[in-house]
Amino acid sequence: MLAGLEMPWEHRTSTQLLLPCMDSFSKRYLMVLGSIVTAVILYVVLSGDERVYQINALLAEDLELRDYPYTFRVFRLEEGIAVMGSPRSAEVPAMRFLRTAFPELSRTAVDDPSMFAAQQILAEKQSRAMELVESQSDVIAVRWEIDERWFNEHGVFLNY
């Protein structure tokens, strides 16, 4: 190509048409950056488990669970076993969750009737969530896992 002559439109490449006023390094940098961003977006979209999203939508729509301060959800499906988040475990007692989720219980004694009632409601909600998930034809069992993210979002950092 002769210096100073403009290249006709029909002979320009797509890069020359889209990025006409950039030097070659900037064009390559932008193309590599665009490729990386596209790859990351594709990875995020394709790695998400659509079935987990569907089951979590079912849980979110349930009238019995909707207004409870903890959102029961499936973290992942592993060969028919739904791994679900729980606000309690052997290492993290229900009291820790209840005192965080219900500030009015923060100074309530463990043997107080209101604490017993709150524990009973938590057990009922967790049973309801498990029942809904196990009712799915592709789920054979539920395994509970402590939901550290929920506690962290509420200012409680577990060290067990």
Residue 43 banded pLDDT, cuts 50, 70, 90: low
Give the C-alpha separation, 122 to 97, whole Å.
10
Is 8 contained in some domain? no
Query: Is the pLDDT assigned to residue 48 strictly greater than 70?
Result: no
Same domain, yes or no: 113 and 137: yes
Largest CA distance in the chain: 90
CA angle 53, 146, 41 (to 5 degrees): 35
The answer to whether residues 67 and 126 belong to one domain is yes
73 in the same domain as 129: yes
Look at residue 10 in the predicted model and tell me its pLDDT: 59
The three-class DSSP label of residue 143 is strand
Q: Are residues 71 and 36 in the same domain?
A: no
Tell me what the mean pLDDT of segment 54-59 comes to.
97
Amino acid, single-letter form, for residue 16: Q
| Same domain, residue pair 31 and 101 | no
C-alpha span between 151 and 154 (Å, rounded) = 5
Residue 70 lies in a domain: yes
The answer as to whether 7 is a domain residue is no
**Residue 86 near residue 147 (C-beta atoms within 8 A):** yes
As a whole number of angstroms, the distance between CA 7 and CA 90 comes to 72
pTM above 0.75, yes or no: no
Asked if 70 and 93 sit in the same domain, the reply is: yes
In which band, very low, low, confident or very high, does the pLDDT at 5 lie, cut at 50, 70 and 90? Answer: low
Do 126 and 146 fall within a single domain? yes
117 part of a folded domain:
yes
Based on the fold, state whether residues 40 and 96 are members of the same structural domain.
no
Average confidence (pLDDT) over 64-79: 96
Which ranges in the chain belong to alpha helices (H)?
Answer: 14-18, 24-47, 50-61, 63-66, 94-101, 113-134, 148-153
User: Is residue 6 in a domain?
Assistant: no
- What range does the domain containing 92 cover? 50-153
The CATH number of whichever domain residue 126 belongs to comes to 3.30.300
Q: Are residues 37 and 109 in the same domain?
A: no
Residue 69 clears pLDDT 90, i.e. is over it: yes
**Domain membership flag for residue 116:** yes
Cα 142 from Cα 128, distance rounded (Å): 12
